[in-house]
Structure 1
Amino acid sequence: MESWPWPSGGAWLLVAARALLQLLRADLRLGRPLLAALALLAALDWLCQRLLPPLAALVVLAAAGWIALSRLARPQRLPVATRAVLITGCDSGFGKATAKKLDAMGFTVLATVLELDSPGAQELRACCSPRLKLLQMDLTKPADISRVLEFTKVHTASTGLWGLVNNAGHNILVADAELSPVATYRSCMEVNFFGTLEMTKALLPLLRRSSGRIVTVSSPAGDMPFPCLSAYGTSKAAVALLMDSFSCELQPWGVKVSVIQPACFRTEAVKNVDQWEERKRQLLATLPQELLQAYGEDYIEHLNGQFLHSLSQGLPDLSPVVDAITDALLAAKPRHRYYPGHGLGLMYFIHYYLPEGLRRRFLQSFFISPYVPRALRLGQPSHTSAQDPGPNLGSAPTAQ
């Protein structure tokens, strides 16, 4: 079929004009995504010239170019100005990194830590501006939350409180649901759910007044049944649903709510191997004899070894999570969910669209490979070796 260069040229002229305008406004970056989009447009141009009449080719190519540039455009962001943000759990990990980033951007940061003389608190005190205020707070103590609330009211009286970043959380045990003491579930819920709930409710009057933002760090373990993370995952599922409720109910007030679901990153808590070993020893020492006989010490050793191996594969650069939190605070239209880190798209696709058996096997191979409990191995050869960590395709989400 005869090609039609003029309609094609007109569409390319329109695409080039918009791209140049976006580049001048710094709404578009020169890089691989833009080059890939242009290559796809060129392929589409070739097909349109051969399969469509001139006017249809012009419309299709121009529309495709416009959509592609719209998707590549940086989201519109609000100015930092004098915005104040409170971040929980800044002793280490995502909280500490976010406090540094927001302080450098010009935010007034109120950073809560468990101990004012902890290494993380000392690091923030040394490297951040005088605008950053360190506040001691334990999320399980209502008196601490009340004290932080009063401090926040006083120190944001002139600017208002723009954002709350619910980052504090923890995971204290890796074990099957039956092996995990009920106290472990209560501990995770106290920090990850009830502490976040109390903190959010305490600051809501200030956030409603400013039509501000609530950003909560959750975990894919709250969406999928990761092996041996039932206590942690249950608390994260609860807090994610809570934030969904807040998102609907606070919409009339102009408060926007976002949830961050990060992949596994190598935070300080993740790298503390001695801590996980000590918790394993405590579990073995306190486990009822009946359960220890049924599952076996080698079973628990296997779980712990697999877990530590998964953590060692975590991403060392925390900036994707920090960037997601920053976008949730400043984007004119923040996303309801952010998924920073590699591999989460495939993980969620498998979880939502493949059969249950495949989902289960994928999570086991991705995180902790199967190992047969002792009672089921009696009279049978072991299916795997406790010393062999088995296949591992990635790493697991952990506490912040």
Structure 2
Amino acid sequence: MVSTEDLTKNLFEVILSHLALTCVLLLAIYAAIRWYIRDSYKVDGFNQKHVFITGCDSGFGNLLARQLDGKGFHVIAGCLTEKGATDLSAAASPRLKTLLLNVTDSASIRSAVEFVSREVGKRGLWGLVNNAGRSIPIGPTEWMELGDFTKVLDVNLIGVIDVTLQFLPLVKKAQGRVVNVASILGRLSLIGGGYCLSKWGVEAFSDSLRRDMQHFGIKVSIIEPGFFKTAVTRVDLINADLKRLWTRLPEEVKDSYGSTYFDDYVKTQNFSMGILCSPDISKVTKCMEHALTARFPRTRYGAGWDAKLFWIPLSYFPTFVTDFVINALLPSLKGAGKI
């Protein structure tokens, strides 16, 4: 028979445990609300601020330029082609300026710095968005040559570093923002080639830049998009380049993969892009805009539900788990693999 003293003790323990759980829950709710409110604070004077964006011919850069232009920012958009610059100018207000920029050419970047410097004057450059990038060639590592890696690295990594270093004095003058576009492939190497290498490099460069520049009031943010429908994920371009890589391989290498592997790989790529790629690229540009307009910008932005709910969480799993998932997404060699 349970005594009154034991009942009282047990009841007291239950109340204490529920009280502790309630306190933890309330603290969590308070922290979430406080973070949400803090995250919503905006800087003032959009119409007094200049933002320079690379890669504005299409995709994320093009939409961001028009988006910020609509908010009143003085946008300077770097485009690779005359057509890209002309089309963007026609779709924006007279306030938006365009210039031709090749991020793999230091002289082109210097010319852009001179143009932007005249535009911003003593105020400096509030925002630098390193958006320009390319994806192909992608595919199995063994199918590549050194030049295939450097084509991507020169744009996606060396270009980002060169642009940042040359524009940094203008950003420093304004105590502004640097926004670098990485990828969930900067967390998980799903494919061979230079793309994943370049995006991992962008992550590392941005982290070191953020720590170095925090003393000068400059904030650095990294955008990590999932899969979106842009020129970077066009399956016709990817398929054509995969064909180029496969065709030039020695016969003994082709034999090691088996007669059906190339077709299986292409089908897998097409299926994955069709299923994974979201057409709503505003999910990415909204993250970029927040990084430029928030009083307290985030260090990293996962853009897209696939990034938030699948790829980024997967990147924290043990290696054997991520390997299992990634291997399940790729075609098997079906008994081949021996030379």
Give the TM-score normalised by structure 2.
0.87
Q: Residue type of the partner of 2:127?
A: G
User: 231-240 or 154-163, which moves further after superposition?
Assistant: 154-163
* Contact persistence 1:78–1:331 (CA under 8 A): yes
CA distance 1:311–1:56, change in 2 (3 Å)? closer
Among 320, 330, 334, which residue is 1:369 paired with? Answer: 330
Alignment partner, residue 40 of structure 2:
75
RMSD: 2.5
Whole-angstrom CA distance in 2 between matches of 1:295 and 1:81: 57
Whole-angstrom CA distance in 1 between matches of 2:65 and 2:204: 26
CA distance 1:295–1:63, change in 2 (3 Å)? closer
Alignment partner, residue 80 of structure 2:
114
CA distance 1:150–1:64, change in 2 (3 Å)? closer
* Contact persistence 2:135–2:232 (CA under 8 A): no
Residue pairs, 1:53-64, within 5 angstroms: 63=27
Is the aligned partner of 1:95 residue 2:61?
Answer: yes
CA distance 1:213–1:142, change in 2 (3 Å)? same
Alignment partner, residue 347 of structure 1:
311
Q: Residue type of the partner of 1:307?
A: Q
In structure 1, stretches of 5+ residues that fail to align are 1-49, 379-400
Is the aligned partner of 1:256 residue 2:219?
Answer: yes
Is the aligned partner of 1:336 residue 2:299?
Answer: yes
Is the aligned partner of 1:173 residue 2:134?
Answer: no
CA distance 1:76–1:320, change in 2 (3 Å)? same
Q: Residue type of the partner of 1:256?
A: K
Q: Residue type of the partner of 1:183?
A: G
* Contact persistence 2:184–2:311 (CA under 8 A): no
Q: Secondary structure at the match of 2:161?
A: helix
Among 99, 107, 123, which residue is 1:159 paired with? Answer: 123
Whole-angstrom CA distance in 1 between matches of 2:224 and 2:143: 26
CA distance 1:229–1:220, change in 2 (3 Å)? farther
Is the aligned partner of 1:85 residue 2:48?
Answer: no
* Contact persistence 1:293–1:374 (CA under 8 A): no
Residue pairs, 1:255-334, within 5 angstroms: 255-270=218-233, 272-296=234-258, 298-313=260-275, 314-334=277-297
Whole-angstrom CA distance in 2 between matches of 1:236 and 1:371: 26
* Contact persistence 2:268–2:331 (CA under 8 A): no
Q: Secondary structure at the match of 2:220?
A: strand
Query: More helix by proportion, 1 or 2?
Result: 2
Give the TM-score normalised by structure 1.
0.74
Whole-angstrom CA distance in 1 between matches of 2:251 and 2:26: 71
Could you tell me the percent identity over the aligned residues? Answer: 32
Among 237, 253, 268, which residue is 2:200 paired with? Answer: 237
CA distance 1:218–1:297, change in 2 (3 Å)? farther
Whole-angstrom CA distance in 2 between matches of 1:164 and 1:244: 16
Q: Secondary structure at the match of 2:260?
A: helix
In structure 2, stretches of 5+ residues that fail to align are 1-13
Whole-angstrom CA distance in 2 between matches of 1:125 and 1:260: 25
Whole-angstrom CA distance in 1 between matches of 2:154 and 2:209: 19
Displacement of 1:304: 2.0
Q: Could you give the per-residue CA deviations for residues 95-151 of structure 1, whole angstroms, max 9, x where no partner exists? A: 111111001001111111110113xx3431112011111111111111111110110
Residue pairs, 1:374-385, within 5 angstroms: 375-376=336-337
Whole-angstrom CA distance in 2 between matches of 1:297 and 1:135: 48
Displacement of 1:171: 0.9
* Contact persistence 1:94–1:322 (CA under 8 A): yes
Q: Residue type of the partner of 1:362?
A: V
Whole-angstrom CA distance in 2 between matches of 1:174 and 1:298: 19
Q: Residue type of the partner of 1:185?
A: F
Displacement of 1:240: 1.1
Displacement of 1:234: 0.6
Q: Secondary structure at the match of 2:121?
A: coil
Whole-angstrom CA distance in 1 between matches of 2:25 and 2:266: 55
Displacement of 1:62: 6.4
